[in-house]
């Protein structure tokens, strides 16, 4: 490719709404352009990166015998009604109607479609196991599309689905995908971790997420300092923290003016935060009110709450709703509140909150709290459920060593779905005894476009992107310092052809621009290797080779340059750099 012909408009200034590095550099280097909120067009350089990631995925899917298909983006509403997810999926689903008034959605995922696709034709155990997958645009009307490709409303996902005759088969299909994903992200050069995950909206019981470690990530991961335990913080069950025993005193009502927050309260009473028990309330699907009690220094893991209570959409409870259950916002506790019926009103208390002796909690009366509260004596009819979020230094659930909390970008997730969709959609096969059984399914997703953003978050400096070779838009840029110098032009062209002949993905920067501009663009776009042809190339017969990732520079004879570039690329590739 000749740079003079490449459509890659770069920007001087980064648009103000681009908050994170990957979004900024993708705009600045001319990889993508915004076409609407959470909607992006890919320009040639961005598209090349995407296609390279897709090619790696395709190879690894072929390696495990998964077969590529393509399903429609537009999906009929009926199949979602059948599975019960038409409403359950919530406002994230883009819905539309055709001219006849029939309803459709733009696929946010394809469990319904694939299950109904195969249900009448995948009929016998003899045809199984089978895994089918596609590379396709997905649509989610995210509540907060942001960070460019990281959380967009249209994005490319590789989604795959396995069909097995039993759980044992599913475990194998799952493991194959898990291993393939591990190879995909390794080959893409990412630093990542596989973590135990909650199955969430999709359903099922066993799941892992592939997390690219990065500060800009929206997910939090707990990871053990000693053993291999790693989990999404939403999935991790925090240990119960005991406190030194005290003789239980009598409950007292105390006036606590101007104590809007739990910190104010602890300060007002001169007690440590952990001697307070704080309340957080949610509403689930607008039908269930849930009062959650955790220790003052802890926070509530709403996924744990939802896993216990059930339902789909979890939101903060409204004042009216709270008052209807005898709860005074700002001063809530189970004491003097309605008794939970565990259908429309729940009270969940975290075990570490249960362990607080002579603690302080709300009195359901504005401006008042109770002190000397001992939950096992004073909280009536509550459900004791682990609902607090783990924090740095908590004991690892597996080995007891302290855990770390780090941030990550979810680039992929694998699920064992079991029979959730096949049962709902009456999708069965005949087993060896001629008996109809529901498929045992797994589903597997990779955020292809999010992976591009994740790679940039991990590999960049103040000058621009530092692509791993495997996914770089071009592997090598040959840059003649002056296009007015015929010798430089000739040598650069020879090197360019020589590299093309060795199947190197090479770009020749033949633009009539100042050397500084070309070097800046090369650093910004992030070609892994730059070969500079300057004055000395003609006089001494040497060129300079620079490795973007390491900053390493060397001067080599022109005659050796092609071979040396090959060596460097091979070395980088072998290190997944
Ligand atoms: P998240 O928790 O980040 O919203 P998810 O768990 O809902 O993601 P999945 O249903 O597991 O996503 O989809 C598979 C993959 O698709 C994710 O692992 C992620 O990499 C990618 N993905 C999901 N939502 C988006 C989005 N809005 N923009 C870009 N990629 C996305
Ligand atoms: Mg996910």
Ligand 1 pocket: which of 53, 152, 157, 190 to mutate (most atoms within 8 A of CB): 157
Residue nearest to atom 8 of ligand 1 (CA): 410
Nearest 5°: the CA angle 281, 283, 288 is: 115
Residue nearest to atom 25 of ligand 1 (CA): 151
pLDDT value for 313? 86
pLDDT in tens, 460-482: 999 999 999 999 999 999 999 99
Contact status, residue 62 vs residue 135, Cβ threshold 8 Å: no
With tokens 């110098």, the residue in question is 485
Contact status, residue 364 vs residue 330, Cβ threshold 8 Å: no
Q: Which atom of ligand 1 is nearest to the CA of 108?
A: 10
In this predicted structure, the answer to whether residue 451 has a pLDDT above a threshold of 80 is yes
Contact status, residue 517 vs residue 3, Cβ threshold 8 Å: no
How buried is residue 526: exposed, middle or buried, by Cβ count under 10 Å (0-12/13-18/19+)? Answer: buried
Contact status, residue 60 vs residue 46, Cβ threshold 8 Å: no
Pocket of ligand 1 (CB under 6 A): 109, 140, 142, 151-152, 155, 157, 410-413, 445, 447, 449-450
Nearest ligand to residue 408 Cα = 1
* Token reading at 200: 């969430």
270 — alpha (psi -120 to 50), left (phi > 0) or beta? left
DSSP per position, 416-469: EEETHHHHHTT-EEE-TTS-EEE-EEEEEEEEHHHHHHHHHHHSEETTEE---G
Ligand 1 pocket: which of 220, 445, 454, 457 to mutate (most atoms within 8 A of CB): 445
**Average model confidence (pLDDT) across the chain:** 96
pLDDT value for 312? 83
Tell me the whole-structure pTM to 2 decimals.
0.94
In this predicted structure, the answer to whether residue 202 has a pLDDT above a threshold of 80 is no
Contact status, residue 300 vs residue 314, Cβ threshold 8 Å: no
pLDDT band with cut points at 50, 70 and 90 for residue 200? low
Residue 370 Cα, ligand 1 centroid: separation in angstroms?
Answer: 44
Residue nearest to atom 24 of ligand 1 (CA): 151
How buried is residue 160: exposed, middle or buried, by Cβ count under 10 Å (0-12/13-18/19+)? Answer: buried
Ligand 1 pocket: which of 153, 193, 447, 451 to mutate (most atoms within 8 A of CB): 447
Query: Rounded distance, CA 479 to CA 476, Å?
Result: 10
Residue nearest to atom 28 of ligand 1 (CA): 151
Distance, CA of 299 to chain centre: 22
With tokens 């809007």, the residue in question is 260
* Token reading at 464: 């621009």
pLDDT value for 138? 98
Cβ < 5 A residues, ion ligand 2: 413
With tokens 């991790």, the residue in question is 236
pLDDT value for 280? 97
Is the peptide bond prior to 129 cis by the omega test (within 30 degrees of 0)? yes
Q: Which atom of ligand 1 is nearest to the CA of 446?
A: 15
In this predicted structure, the answer to whether residue 373 has a pLDDT above a threshold of 70 is yes
In this predicted structure, the answer to whether residue 445 has a pLDDT above a threshold of 80 is yes
In this predicted structure, the answer to whether residue 201 has a pLDDT above a threshold of 70 is no
pLDDT band with cut points at 50, 70 and 90 for residue 181? very high
pLDDT value for 238? 95
pLDDT in tens, 499-541: 999 999 999 999 999 999 999 999 999 999 999 999 999 999 9
Percentage, residues of the chain above pLDDT 70: 99
Query: Rounded distance, CA 458 to CA 22, Å?
Result: 9
Nearest ligand to residue 411 Cα = 1
Residue 413 Cα, ligand 2 centroid: separation in angstroms?
Answer: 5
Query: Rounded distance, CA 522 to CA 513, Å?
Result: 13
Residue 299 Cα, ligand 2 centroid: separation in angstroms?
Answer: 22
Residue 324 Cα, ligand 2 centroid: separation in angstroms?
Answer: 36
Which residues, at least 6 apart from 199, have a Cβ–Cβ distance to it below 8 Å?
A: 205, 206, 207, 415
pLDDT in tens, 61-97: 999 999 999 999 999 999 999 999 999 898 999 999 9
Residues 317, 322, 328, 334, CA torsion sign: negative
pLDDT in tens, 115-143: 999 999 999 999 999 999 999 999 999 99
* pLDDT, mean of residues 238-260: 95
Residues 26, 32, 34, 39, CA torsion sign: negative
pLDDT in tens, 3-59: 999 999 999 999 899 999 999 999 999 999 999 999 999 999 999 999 999 999 999
pLDDT value for 520? 97
Q: What end-to-end distance do the CA atoms of the chain give, in Å?
A: 23
In this predicted structure, the answer to whether residue 205 has a pLDDT above a threshold of 90 is no
pLDDT value for 199? 78
pLDDT in tens, 276-304: 999 999 999 999 999 999 999 999 999 99
Residue 249 Cα, ligand 2 centroid: separation in angstroms?
Answer: 47
Q: Which atom of ligand 1 is nearest to the CA of 210?
A: 18
Residue 237 Cα, ligand 2 centroid: separation in angstroms?
Answer: 19
Query: Rounded distance, CA 429 to CA 437, Å?
Result: 5
Which H or E run includes 79?
helix 77-83
In this predicted structure, the answer to whether residue 203 has a pLDDT above a threshold of 70 is no
With tokens 């983006």, the residue in question is 73
């Amino acid at each position: 490719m000749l740079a003079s012909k490449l459509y890659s408009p770069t920007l001087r200034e980064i648009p103000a709404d681009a908050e994170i590095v990957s979004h900024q550099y993708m705009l600045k280097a001319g990889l993508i352009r915004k076409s609407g909120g959470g909607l992006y067009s890919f320009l040639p350089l961005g598209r090349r990166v995407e296609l390279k990631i897709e090619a790696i995925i395709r190879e690894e899917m072929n390696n495990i015998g998964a077969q590529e298909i393509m399903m429609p983006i537009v999906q009929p509403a009926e199949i979602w009604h059948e599975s019960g997810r038409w409403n359950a999926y919530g406002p994230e689903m883009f819905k539309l109607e055709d001219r006849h008034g029939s309803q459709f959605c733009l696929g946010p995922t394809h469990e319904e479609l694939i299950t109904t696709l195969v249900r009448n034709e995948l009929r016998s155990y003899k045809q199984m196991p089978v895994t089918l997958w596609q590379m396709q645009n997905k649509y989610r009307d995210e509540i907060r599309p942001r960070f460019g490709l990281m959380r967009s409303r249209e994005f490319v996902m590789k989604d795959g689905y396995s069909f097995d005759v039993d759980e044992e088969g599913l475990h194998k299909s799952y493991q194959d995908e898990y291993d393939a994903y591990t190879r995909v992200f390794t080959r893409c050069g990412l630093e990542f971790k596989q973590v135990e995950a909650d199955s969430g909206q999709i359903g099922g019981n066993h799941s892992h997420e592939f997390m690219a470690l990065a500060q800009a990530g929206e997910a939090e991961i707990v990871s053990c300092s000693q053993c291999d335990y790693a989990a999404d913080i939403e999935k991790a069950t925090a240990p119960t923290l005991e406190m030194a025993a005290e003789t239980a005193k009598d409950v007292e009502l105390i006036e606590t003016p101007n104590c809007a927050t739990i910190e104010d309260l602890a300060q007002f009473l001169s007690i440590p935060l952990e001697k307070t028990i704080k309340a957080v309330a949610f509403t689930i699907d607008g039908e269930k009110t849930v009062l959650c009690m955790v220790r003052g220094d802890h926070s509530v893991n709403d996924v744990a709450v939802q896993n216990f209570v059930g339902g789909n959409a979890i939101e903060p409870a409204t004042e009216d709703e709270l008052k209807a259950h005898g709860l005074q916002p700002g001063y809530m506790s189970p004491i003097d509140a309605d008794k939970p019926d565990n259908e429309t009103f729940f009270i969940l208390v975290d075990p570490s909150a249960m362990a607080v002796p002579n603690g302080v909690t709300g009195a359901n009366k504005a401006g008042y709290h109770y002190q000397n509260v001992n939950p096992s004596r004073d909280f009536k009819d509550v459900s004791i459920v682990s609902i607090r979020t783990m924090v740095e230094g908590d004991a690892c659930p597996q080995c007891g060593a302290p855990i770390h909390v780090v941030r990550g970008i979810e680039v992929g997730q694998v699920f064992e779905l079991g029979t959730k969709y096949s049962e709902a959609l009456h999708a069965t096969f005949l087993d060896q005894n001629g008996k109809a059984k529901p498929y045992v399914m797994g589903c597997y997703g990779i955020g292809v476009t999010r992976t591009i953003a994740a790679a940039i978050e991990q590999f960049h400096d103040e000058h621009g992107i530092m692509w791993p070779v495997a996914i770089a838009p071009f592997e090598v840029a040959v840059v003649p310092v002056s296009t007015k110098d015929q010798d430089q032009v000739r040598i650069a062209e020879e090197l360019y052809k020589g590299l093309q002949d060795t199947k190197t993905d090479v770009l020749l920067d033949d633009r009539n621009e100042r050397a500084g501009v070309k070097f800046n663009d090369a650093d910004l776009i992030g070609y892994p290797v730059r070969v500079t042809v300057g004055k000395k190339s003609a006089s001494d017969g040497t060129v300079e080779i620079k490795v973007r990732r390491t900053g390493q520079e060397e001067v080599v004879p022109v005659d050796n340059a092609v071979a040396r570039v090959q060596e460097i690329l091979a070395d980088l590739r072998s290190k997944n750099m």
